Amino acid sequence: MIFTNDIDHDFRIELLRKLIHLSSIAMPVIYYFITKTLALQILTLLAVISLSVDMARHFPNSFSGLFNKIFGFLLRRHERDRRAKSLNGATWYFIAAVVCVAVFPRYITIISFAILTFADVASAIVGRRFGRRRFRGRSLEGSMAFIAAAVFVVALSPKIEYRFSEYLIGAFAAVVGAAAEVLSHDLIDDNIAIPVSTGATMWLLYALIHPAMNLEKFGFYN
């Protein structure tokens, strides 16, 4: 019974983490309505603040005590390790956002982060609750949920020219993102592995299949 209660408690904490994670959809939504320059300025500032907080919490001081008291229960075990000084998921998210906005076309970045928001949540919840067949700390069930959610996001998202091949490109990127989530375990945070891998995949396929398509011409500012 104690073991079962521990599992239920871990699942509730993970569910809370992912409910908070859903709020990250604000980034691609806001980016749709603002310029690339402004997005980079805002995201860089947020990345610096988050990184500073992350570094400060790893050293014994009044701030780290307060931070851990309020937010410590949300951190994973490796994120609480002061010796490793690991960054938390939010910091990795902002770093990934800066990189993707700076490197990828607007459309690619927006879709990649929409996939990250919803597919990562689906993967975590299904994997934690129903995962049985495991590999590298993930589960087949969780990966299938990731792909299903990512394909759903791709299907509902606006397209550049609404060609059928654009849906196929997004679906293939969804599979790559699921693979990146599994393979990145214990190597790099999936908040950066997923959007970078899906974004790079989509960008490459668009370049090969639709080289003349303008991927920056998307959103309020284009």
Give the chain's end-to-end CA distance (angstroms, integer): 57
139 burial (CB, 10 Å; 0-12 / 13-18 / 19+) is buried
Among 53-57, 69-73, 160-164, 215-219, name the most confident range.
160-164
Greater confidence (218 vs 209) lies with 209
Distance between CA 114 and CA 119 in Å, rounded? 8
pLDDT tens digits for range 4-28: 455 555 667 666 676 777 888 999 9
Q: Which residue has the tokens 């375990």?
A: 185
Q: Phi and psi (nearest 5°) for 135?
A: -155, 125
Q: Which residue has the tokens 């805002």?
A: 42
pLDDT tens digits for range 104-152: 999 999 999 999 999 998 998 888 788 678 777 788 899 999 999 999 9
Greater confidence (2 vs 134) lies with 134
Helix %, strand %, coil % of the chain (to 5): 75, 0, 25
pTM of the predicted protein model: 0.86
CA distances from 34 to 153, 159, 160, 161 (A): 22, 18, 18, 21
- Which pLDDT belongs to residue 2? 44
Q: Phi and psi (nearest 5°) for 31?
A: -60, -30
Q: Please say if the pLDDT value at position 35 is more than 90.
A: yes
pLDDT tens digits for range 47-93: 999 898 888 777 766 666 666 766 665 666 666 656 656 788 889 99
Q: Please say if the pLDDT value at position 222 is more than 70.
A: no
Question: For residue 27, how many C-alpha atoms fall within 13 Å in the half-sphere facing its CB?
Answer: 32
- Which pLDDT belongs to residue 78? 60
Distance between CA 148 and CA 119 in Å, rounded? 8
